A = this chain, B = another copy of it.
Amino acid sequence: MSNGGSALGGADASELFQLLRDGSPRTVSELAAVTGLARSTVGLRLDALTSLGLIGPVDPGLSTGGRPPKRVALLPLARLALAIDVGASHVQVALTNLVGDVLLRQRAPISVAAGPDPVLGRALQLVDPLLEELGRDRAAIIAIGVGLPGPVHFETGRPSKPPLMPGWDAFDVPGWFRDHIDAPVLVDNDVNIMALGEHSRLESPAGHFLFVKVATGIGAGIISGGRLQRGAQGIAGDIGHVRVSRGTGVLCRCGNEGCLEALASGPAVAAELSAHGVEARSARDVVALVADGDLRAIQAVRQAGRDLGEVLAASISFLNPSVITIGGQMAAAGEHLLAGVREVVYQRAMPLATRNLQIATARTADKAGLIGAGMLAIHHALSPEGLQAL
């Protein structure tokens, strides 16, 4: 059930941290009451967190109560998380504080097909100037979160037969960082990470949430029962190859026919427009045409939304989420994509499942991956196992 034995072992160090993580100061008695732990145990764990510099005493003069200075609170800038978002043709890095706010970020163009060493090396080059700007060094990094555009075996941090990523299969991403930064490395696929980022920034908490990325590929990140669901092989949410009704005879790069991705991804919509004499080669081109008011592009995006809606209607039947947000480059086409999705979802899904369902464009836009990678890193670093390793 647990390795246990350490002062930070068990479920409660995590619970203790969860309580402090909202930034509110708390006393030992409050923490003991809420966790059900002995005051002595709480005290020991707080000492450990204090000696790590993660929490500190709060000036009683600033708190509302008149108690002696025994309140402690998380120090958000005690350490930093390094967030890395690897895309198909770029890499982005950011430094976040311990509550996941992006402090600084930087981006560089590079193809993921260049292989892990050049791509991760490029990312690393971007980090030191950001650290310098904050007056910190690599030792300030408490953990690293990395998003990759393909399936990842989360437990080992190794990509798992990722298509279009030559040289990455089973590459030891955490091992690569070991020579450069002394911090744990968490790796997940970009859509799961974007889901974490978007979920952390929702207006109100949603225990059952779907994030859908529509770009060169199409994928979803699933939060169900309050937790990111990765599935048995870490590929839950791989909705790009679900068949849609309009797909008969349309071949997909996966070798099957009628896949959602072959009809509704950025390149698929661009190809369809090109075939009808409207020049477009990518999601970006499609979005630009829509912004220009091109009627054929608007119609094509709306139809892509309908195809996506067909798959989302099924996912709503399976998972019964309360919020779905749509991100990725194609989401920039805005209401047209969303209108197609809603049209089919409201037609196909059961009324009880859609009664309170929100479907919206992602709020975090192109920052979702960085925020999510930061959250993943922080969540691990401040978990019982993470704290033990500090």
Chain A interface (Cβ < 8 Å from any Cβ of B): 1-2, 4-13, 15, 18-19, 33-38, 40-41, 151, 160-161, 206-208, 220, 222, 224-225, 227, 229-239, 241-243, 245, 254, 256, 310-311, 313-315, 317-322, 347-348, 350, 352-353, 355-357, 384
Contact = CB atoms under 8 A, between A and B. Distances in A.
A142 B8 CA distance: 35
A354 B222 CA distance: 19
B2 A34 contact: yes
Given A236-B320, A318-B237, A348 B10 contact: no
B245 A231 contact: no
B238 A231 contact: no
18 contacts: A1-B18, A36-B41, A36-B384, A37-B37, A37-B38, A206-B232, A220-B318, A224-B229, A225-B225, A229-B229, A231-B320, A235-B353, A237-B318, A237-B320, A239-B314, A243-B313, A311-B314, A318-B318
A162 to B, nearest CB: 11
A7 to B, nearest CB: 8
Contact of A224 (B40, B224, B233): B224
Given A242-B317, A317-B238, A208 B231 contact: yes
Given A315-B318, A355-B233, A350 B241 contact: yes
A229 B318 CA distance: 10
B36 A38 contact: no
Given A220-B318, A232-B207, A33 B4 contact: yes
A232 B318 contact: no
A230 to B, nearest CB: 7
A241 B317 contact: yes
Counting every copy of the chain, the complex holds 2
A238 B320 contact: yes
B4 A34 contact: yes
B238 A353 contact: yes
A232 B37 contact: no
Nearest to A350: B241
A222 B36 contact: no
Which 9 residue pairs are nearest across A and B when measured between Cβ atoms?
A: A10-B36, A231-B320, A232-B322, A9-B36, A236-B320, A11-B11, A208-B232, A4-B34, A242-B314
Given A1-B15, A41-B41, 18 more contacts: A2-B34, A2-B36, A10-B12, A10-B15, A10-B37, A11-B15, A207-B232, A225-B225, A232-B356, A236-B318, A236-B319, A241-B350, A242-B317, A243-B245, A243-B310, A243-B348, A256-B348, A314-B315
B230 A320 contact: yes
A174 to B, nearest CB: 21
B235 A225 contact: no
B231 A224 contact: yes
A1 to B, nearest CB: 6
A350 B163 CA distance: 12
Contact of A239 (B4, B36, B230, B318): B318
